[in-house]
Structure 1
Amino acid sequence: MLEETGTKVSVSTVKRVLYRHNLKGRSVRKMPLLQNHHKNARLRFATAHVDKDSDIRYVWRKKWEACKPKNIIPIVKHGGGSIMLWGCFAAGRTGALHKIDGIMRIENYVDMMKQHLKTSDGDFVIGGVFSIHYFVHTVDHSYTSMPEPLQCTGRDSRELRFSRAMIFAVEEINNSSYLLPGVTLGYQVHDSCSSVPMAVKVAFQLANGQDPMFDTGEQCSGSATVTAIVGESASTPTISMLRIIGPLGIPQVSHFSTCACLSDKKQYPTFFRTIPSDQFQAAALAHLIRHFGWTWIGAVRSDSDYGNNGMAAFLQAAQEEGICVEYSEAFSRTNPLSRVQRVADVIRSTAQVVVAFVSSGDMRNLLEEMDRLPSPPRQWIGSETWVTDPDMLRFGLCAGAIGFGIKRSVIPGFRDFLLDLSPQKVSNSPLLTEFWEGAFGGVEEKVCDGSEDIQQLQAPYTDTSQLRVTNMVYKAVYAIAHAIHSIVCEESENSTVNCDKNLNVKPTQVLERLRRVNFSRNGYQVSFDANGDPIATYELVNWQRRERGKLEFVTVGRYDASLPLDQRFDMEREITWVKNSSQVPVSVCSESCPPGTRKAIQKGKPVCCYDCIQCAEGEISNNTSDCMICPEEYWPNAERDRCILKPVEFLSFHEVLGIILTACSVGGACLAIATATIFYRHRSSAIVRANNSELSFLLLFSLALCFLCSLTFIGRPSEWSCMLRHTAFGITFVLCISCVLGKTIVVLMAFRATLPGSNVMKWFGPPQQRLTVVSFTFVQALICTLWLVLSPPFPIKNPTTYKEKIILECDVGSAIGFWAVLGYIGLLALLCFVLAFLARKLPDNFNEAKFITFSMLIFCAVWITFIPAYVSSPGKFTVAVEIFAIITSSFGLFFLLFVPKCFIILFRPEKNTKKHLMEKTSNDIRY
């Protein structure tokens, strides 16, 4: 028989192959393995069941447990080898009876091994790879014996449903009249056991149709047996497969591999997917966390390409959103239990919100460990892989969990297809047989008798209420079918479609057409961008308790990455949070700072851990974490949470200082007027006539103006008041000093005129006196005019002198003009002082030299002191200093020049006679 098949196989090769598949041979023992009555019992059992469809039964194992080596009887022959009883025939699966015609040959063995596959011939074959089992027992490499084959355990009913969805889609396409009419699609469905080694093995099988365990000596040079591949579910096995099939140009369309790394077309040019990349999910999760105000979270991930790349994308998006991650732990279900326990302990003792970018198998292990010990409630934020897995709903500690999942969908007819199973139909597939026994055997390990009704079964396999990823499988098959259709079919003139099923379609052709597919199926659009990714749309799923405490998936919001950033996230329903609360959980390192304070990052900690410090002067904080400076004309309120207008301050008539200065000013003017009245009433008296009455009246008038001009410095500054106050002050004071200077010159000239031969008085008579006063005053008026024309004073708001208020004051405009006015006044005062000092020893009855000297001394002292006081006084006190200088110098002139004369006029009239004056003058001359 070996020669007929063209295969040369040695005895050792057969033994080695059988050994790899857990089919061990044993040497004859002294004590038979089975007694005769054992053999007879098994022979009767085999004879009774070998021709029945329901020939698969439990063989020495407990429900939910893998077959153990000690319970396996490798080979028990009956009747010369025509019947063989296999104990736990496939690794990790239940035992089965298999009828063999003749002796055991390699062809018979290969035929049996093919029962691990679900195949269907067609014109074009599509491969399917799913993680129908999620755990592989670790092989102990002792290097003293041949390693045992990989043993897959832990059936995933949802993944089984994915594989059935592929078969359903293929059969639906085969019955279609518009898509590939007359063409039949075939399929090969493989179980990768969520394992990289198994995925690599499957990739080789799909690439050339040759199982690497049977080395026939042929080269891998033939064309691929499949035109495209649907799967795998996990990212890491997918990457491993792409390393093999990618160089061969075989396109792979995944329904569940979401790693963002797979979008790299340089590394994975043949990869497509119908599920969005984790790059979008990571951004959506970060946006979700920021939306609910969580700034202090924990993160766990699968230690795989899916978890590591997904978490890396999330951490980057979280950093951009200002979210701090307290810890980021990685683990895998293949890690030692101590590692999973450590991750669980970290979760129990830290942040309230936990983001889990974890595969379903890894998450199942973690939650089982979390369930083992009482754990404080945590708000779980899940990635799509596990947060929409119905099998995970049994973990009540995740009640209130939220996460983004693929949109729910409806596949017409799919539920009927899933339920179209019977004991007779499942007997041809070990995978379906295992599912059937697991679904109906239950914990009681009941033997299936053919009366089971799948219509009554409540299991993830039959649950079509949450067809999310299942629809991604459905869309992937249709995408491949559309690509093949565009190659082998063409539309004729009469709108009929003609397809050539004999056309030799290469995978590279399908790859090229997949890039351009764009169609709609059951209302769902299917297309790929330049990276082979679809448009990212998600539903926000919330785990809510319903009737009798059962957890269910409830859609509470949506996220569409194709919309503008501010429109992507939309909440539709209320979320039920952890502990069945309606209040959003709080998860922050530091509470938000109250208004009026700012954040100060704690040394050595993330930016989310901070102390609250009061804002500095002039700064506020409201709803922000930092203080901001108020605008120039604003100042913080007492709480420093808002800016208010600064009060405007100026020297007002209504405040105490303004009232005092006003009273002094008006009082001084009244005294000057009263004195003028007294002088006028006694204008014919000796003392009035002896003191140059004309200049005295003019001096009193100018003093009254000096007193009154100070009023222009009080009140709200305006454009006119600013110009008036400085010009009026400058002109009136020059007029006043000019009069004093004129009186001084008259006295000096009069004394000189008494000398023999002097005619000085004719050169300084009344006309010359008037001209002198007018000339001096005109110069000041000219200076003021130039000042007003070139750069006049103007009102300004001074916000710098006081931080908390604005000083409304007059800017001098031109500093040169201002100091020129003051300098001219000072020059005249100095000249007057010098002349008065020279005339101090003249007779008292004819001059006022002494009083003028003292008055000028006071005047100069006041204004010399004024300069530093004016420069250093802040705000409105600058104006008060200037008013004080005006009033003080005016009173100095008034009291020294007029009060003594008024005293004589009013209280010593006997001295107000010409005789008295002449006598006193004579005495002074003799002296």
Structure 2
Amino acid sequence: MVSAPGYVNAEITASVCQLRSVSIHGYSRKGDINIGGIFSLYIGEPASHILFTELREAALCKRVYEKLLALIFTTEEIQNDPELLPNVTLGYVIYDSCSAISRALEGTMRLLTGQRKTIPNYNCQALSSVVAVVGDSYSSTSMPMARLLGLYKFPQISYAATVMALSDKHQFPSFLRTIPTDLLQSIGIVHLLFYFGWTWIGLLSDSSDYGLQGSLIVKEELVKAGACIAFSETIPAVYSEMKIQYISDIVRKTSANVIVIYSTDVALYPVMEVIALNNVTGKVWIASDGWAQSYLFSKNEFLRTLQGTLGFLVRRGDMSGFHEYIYSLNPYNNPDDIFLKMFWELVFDCKLHILDKTNMNITEESKICSGDETLEGMKLDFFQFTDLRYTYNIYNAVYSIAHALHDMISCRRGEGPFYNGTCAFMYDLQPWQFFYYIKNIRFRNKESEEVFFDVNGNPPGLYSILNWQVTPENTFRYLDIGRFDSTAADNQKLAVNLSEMLWNKGHEKVPQSLCSESCSAGYRKAPQPGQPICCFKCIMCSQGEISNQTDAVACVKCAKDGWPNERQDKCITKVVEFLSYEEPLGAALAAVSTFLEMATVAVLTIFIKYRHTPIVKANNRGLSYLLLFSLMSCFLCSFLFIGCPTHKTCMLRQATFGIIFTLSLSCILAKTIVVVIAFSARKPNSNMQKYSDPRLPKFLAILCTIVQTIECVSWLIVSPPFPDENISSVTGKIILECNEVSPVAFWCMLSYMGLLAVVSLVVAFLSRKLPDSFNEAKFITFSMLVFVSVWMSFIPAYLSTQGKYMVVVEIFAIVSSGAGLLLCIFIAKCYIILLRPEMNTKDYVMGKGTFKNGKD
């Protein structure tokens, strides 16, 4: 049965010693089961408009009134549903908290006790007057309510209280809400900031738990992700003109173009009023849901300052039939609805002529409401039927209670919390028992949105992102340009439609908010001492390093086969360098070596063919053959230096070169000593006669060569050369070379060859004037001069070159010195043999017969 509608209005009597108080208004329509509601239907003026000596009555807020109507509308809609609660009549008991904690607590006590006298732990009824409470609008009033209701595990569902502390089930065990917690909103704001690349952020918050906790999470998430806070200020709880001017100056002077404000509209208004007065423009304001769509900032003075603001607001929904319900309202049809009476008189500026105790102040001057007034078609923006957000949350809250009642009555959710596994009758219901059902509900509403509460009593985080745009009529329109869904995948949580966005004046495209300009690729960030991490200098990467992204913290080295390009933003493959046959230099050296090899073969052929002639037999022709063979090998060993180095060529090239050239020098030294011994032995009583053994030259040549062979073999055994990739000698190149491993062994080998060359030069020089017509010592002297000159020039040239040019220098030294020996020693002999045979006689060779050497 439905009890008769009743109006509840209690005046707190003021005595001489009591503070002035405002009356508490309430309205009820009782049913079998009642839902309680606490709404902040009145709103006061901003603090900057109220003197501290005054206490003004607040005015009914038209836009908040629709939330109360949402509870009544949803209750009636459920009542007409034949399946949800078919045999149960839902009623409601509603009180206005007027945004005051004391009023919210007084209304809560009345709901708990069912009495006009709010006496704790006292209830003359078997049950509370309600099974659950919907409300309140603000976190500041919802928290004290939740503490009180939590003592009894009495279910409370808030539609607008977002402060994170309410998720603590130890402090607020029976608190639930249909609006996401500030934690998710703060994370969404950070996602939005990084979506636009903003890393230099200003923070402003009010002094409530809502502002302080929300801004703290934003700060922590920003710092964790690498952004920086340009400033962080708190709006004072008590109006302070000095503090507000200080905040305004910081906002005006800061280099940060993006400022996040976590505050309620009433607390923010005095600060924004001064900021607008100082003509601050060009900033991007990020609004929390506390002021993201507030009518307080719809005045012309805020248009230039707040244009382009981005606001986070809970997602909107649709309540089918809601606007028809509101348009059908008439106070004459609902004479007990005190809130409708006040609303009607405010909207139509008239007085209702309803004869009851609540309306005895009608005067003759008052305009009487005829009762024919209608809300439909009015241009005044009382209700926003296309943008229902908090109202939609109330809709879901009431349906949550209804579904919980349905589950309880139907004995769903298992056996429930009742004694002996039974289901309780609704008239024998305790709050903690009903809370079991309501916290576990899960259903889809008429919009197919899934409604449920997590373990902390919170719904999923679903937000709309609003863009404040100035219309031609000089008002703000709040365009929905994006969304944030906390339940989506990381790369799909945020979606923004940039094409529909408008920014503040001076920004045609996305504004930047950076302490330092981004470092382009090829540079790295260098932190500045005493500055936040976002304030840095850009330094070019060091040689051999790159950065291939903007704002790189550090440069990275290229791989072994890579090298930075000129911009140092990517690695390019190094040029592989070695002396190849395909390149002109390698081909030329190979051609010269081939030609000299053929020339040496030709000389050897001539000498073999004319081996019985005196000029060939002179001065030991066996040494001449051995010398020509060694020169042939010298020219051939140059091919070991051309081409890509391999393990075999690296092992052979230096050792082969050293041994063969040592053999050549040993032969020359032996030939020189043979000449000296031959001329000295013909003197009477000369001691040189005992050294005139024809085997001595060969023995000397072999002995000198064996010494070098031992040294080279030892080198190959102890520290064998190997092919290597030299990446450090020449910038941007990989030099394929033979690593000699032991430079000491290499230079010892050359030193030994140098020693033989010098001794040969000295001996040949001393014997250059021996009395023969064909004095070979002269030619050996010239050849040794060429040889020593070439290799003396080789040393500085070899040490001053890198890469393949070191190989070129060594091949050139080998070829040129070998060519010098071939030409200086053998060209004159070949000339006589081929072109002047008349000179190829014993008499000519022995210098008019004075030199006789019958054996070679």
Q: 1:697 to 1:924 in 2, by over 3 A?
A: closer
> Residue 810 of structure 2 corresponds to which residue in structure 1?
882
Residue 514 in 1 paired to residue 435 in 2?
no
Whole-Å separation in 2 of the counterparts to 1:695 and 1:512: 115
The one-letter amino acid of 1:641's match is D
- State the 1:332 CA deviation: 5.5
Within 5 A, what are the aligned runs for 1:450-469? 450=370, 451-469=372-390
- Asked if the contact 1:749–1:764 (Cα under 8 Å) also holds between the matched residues in 2, the reply is no
- Structure 1 stretch 706-715 or stretch 410-419: which is displaced more? 706-715
- Matched residue of 2:567: which SS? coil
Q: 1:552 to 1:17 in 2, by over 3 A?
A: same
Whole-Å separation in 2 of the counterparts to 1:710 and 1:802: 24
Q: 1:345 to 1:222 in 2, by over 3 A?
A: farther
Within 5 A, what are the aligned runs for 1:781-820? 795-812=723-740, 815=741
> Structure 1, residues 463-502: CA drift from partner, whole Å, max 9, x if none?
211111111111112222322333344489xxxxx99765
1:414 aligns with one of 319, 322, 344: 322
> Residue 37 of structure 2 corresponds to which residue in structure 1?
128
- State the 1:831 CA deviation: 6.9
> Structure 1, residues 831-858: CA drift from partner, whole Å, max 9, x if none?
7877997899786759967876896798
Within 5 A, what are the aligned runs for 1:262-661? 262-331=166-235, 334-350=238-254, 351-389=256-294, 392-393=297-298, 396-397=303-304, 398-424=306-332, 428-441=336-349, 447-450=367-370, 451-490=372-411, 503-522=427-446, 523-545=448-470, 548=473, 550-572=475-497, 574-579=499-504, 583-626=509-552, 627-651=555-579
1:177 aligns with one of 66, 79, 82: 82
Whole-Å separation in 2 of the counterparts to 1:525 and 1:824: 89
> Residue 80 of structure 1 corresponds to which residue in structure 2?
none
Q: 1:610 to 1:440 in 2, by over 3 A?
A: farther
The one-letter amino acid of 2:101's match is V
- State the 1:680 CA deviation: 6.7
Whole-Å separation in 2 of the counterparts to 1:186 and 1:488: 17
- Matched residue of 1:510: which SS? helix
- State the 1:666 CA deviation: 6.5
Residue 713 in 1 paired to residue 713 in 2?
no
Whole-Å separation in 1 of the counterparts to 2:15 and 2:33: 31
Within 5 A, what are the aligned runs for 1:687-702? 687-702=615-630
Whole-Å separation in 1 of the counterparts to 2:216 and 2:72: 36
% same residue: 37
- Structure 1 stretch 848-857 or stretch 587-596: which is displaced more? 848-857
Q: 1:923 to 1:568 in 2, by over 3 A?
A: same
- State the 1:173 CA deviation: 2.8
1:119 aligns with one of 18, 24, 28: 28
The one-letter amino acid of 1:396's match is L
- Asked if the contact 2:669–2:759 (Cα under 8 Å) also holds between the matched residues in 1, the reply is no
Q: 1:152 to 1:323 in 2, by over 3 A?
A: farther
Q: 1:435 to 1:148 in 2, by over 3 A?
A: farther
Whole-Å separation in 1 of the counterparts to 2:120 and 2:479: 54
Within 5 A, what are the aligned runs for 1:745-764? 764=694
Q: 1:545 to 1:468 in 2, by over 3 A?
A: same
Whole-Å separation in 2 of the counterparts to 1:737 and 1:656: 31
- State the 1:905 CA deviation: 7.9
The one-letter amino acid of 1:281's match is Q
Whole-Å separation in 2 of the counterparts to 1:612 and 1:446: 74
- Asked if the contact 2:757–2:788 (Cα under 8 Å) also holds between the matched residues in 1, the reply is no
Whole-Å separation in 1 of the counterparts to 2:586 and 2:341: 105
- Structure 1 stretch 282-291 or stretch 224-233: which is displaced more? 224-233
- State the 1:891 CA deviation: 5.1
- State the 1:460 CA deviation: 4.8
Residue 195 in 1 paired to residue 195 in 2?
no
- Matched residue of 2:617: which SS? helix
> Structure 1, residues 679-713: CA drift from partner, whole Å, max 9, x if none?
67875654432122232133134224424533543
2:141 aligns with one of 223, 234, 237: 237
Whole-Å separation in 1 of the counterparts to 2:326 and 2:245: 38
Whole-Å separation in 1 of the counterparts to 2:764 and 2:515: 88
- State the 1:861 CA deviation: 8.9
The one-letter amino acid of 1:601's match is P
What stretches of structure 1 of length at least 5 have no aligned partner? 1-12, 23-89, 92-112, 139-146, 493-497
Whole-Å separation in 2 of the counterparts to 1:383 and 1:641: 40
The one-letter amino acid of 2:26's match is L
The one-letter amino acid of 1:449's match is C
- State the 1:516 CA deviation: 1.0
Residue 247 in 1 paired to residue 151 in 2?
yes
- State the 1:799 CA deviation: 1.0
- State the 1:518 CA deviation: 0.8
- State the 1:234 CA deviation: 1.4
- Asked if the contact 1:354–1:378 (Cα under 8 Å) also holds between the matched residues in 2, the reply is yes
Q: 1:365 to 1:831 in 2, by over 3 A?
A: closer
> Residue 261 of structure 1 corresponds to which residue in structure 2?
165
Within 5 A, what are the aligned runs for 1:50-65? none
Whole-Å separation in 2 of the counterparts to 1:703 and 1:128: 113
- Matched residue of 2:468: which SS? strand
**TM-score w.r.t. length of structure 1:** 0.74
Whole-Å separation in 2 of the counterparts to 1:286 and 1:137: 29
- Asked if the contact 2:113–2:121 (Cα under 8 Å) also holds between the matched residues in 1, the reply is no
- Matched residue of 1:503: which SS? helix
- Asked if the contact 2:44–2:59 (Cα under 8 Å) also holds between the matched residues in 1, the reply is yes
- Matched residue of 2:443: which SS? strand
> Structure 1, residues 626-654: CA drift from partner, whole Å, max 9, x if none?
24433332323333333333333334679
- Asked if the contact 2:62–2:343 (Cα under 8 Å) also holds between the matched residues in 1, the reply is yes
Number of aligned positions between the proteins: 805
> Structure 1, residues 33-66: CA drift from partner, whole Å, max 9, x if none?
xxxxxxxxxxxxxxxxxxxxxxxxxxxxxxxxxx
- State the 1:302 CA deviation: 2.2
- Matched residue of 2:802: which SS? coil
Q: 1:921 to 1:640 in 2, by over 3 A?
A: farther
- Matched residue of 1:694: which SS? helix
Q: 1:161 to 1:649 in 2, by over 3 A?
A: same
> Aligned Cα RMSD in Å?
4.8
> Structure 1, residues 759-782: CA drift from partner, whole Å, max 9, x if none?
9799755xx977987898799899
- Structure 1 stretch 309-318 or stretch 589-598: which is displaced more? 589-598
- Matched residue of 1:171: which SS? helix
- State the 1:565 CA deviation: 0.5
- State the 1:622 CA deviation: 4.2
Q: 1:791 to 1:562 in 2, by over 3 A?
A: farther
The one-letter amino acid of 1:694's match is G
The one-letter amino acid of 1:613's match is I
Q: 1:679 to 1:862 in 2, by over 3 A?
A: same
- State the 1:664 CA deviation: 7.0
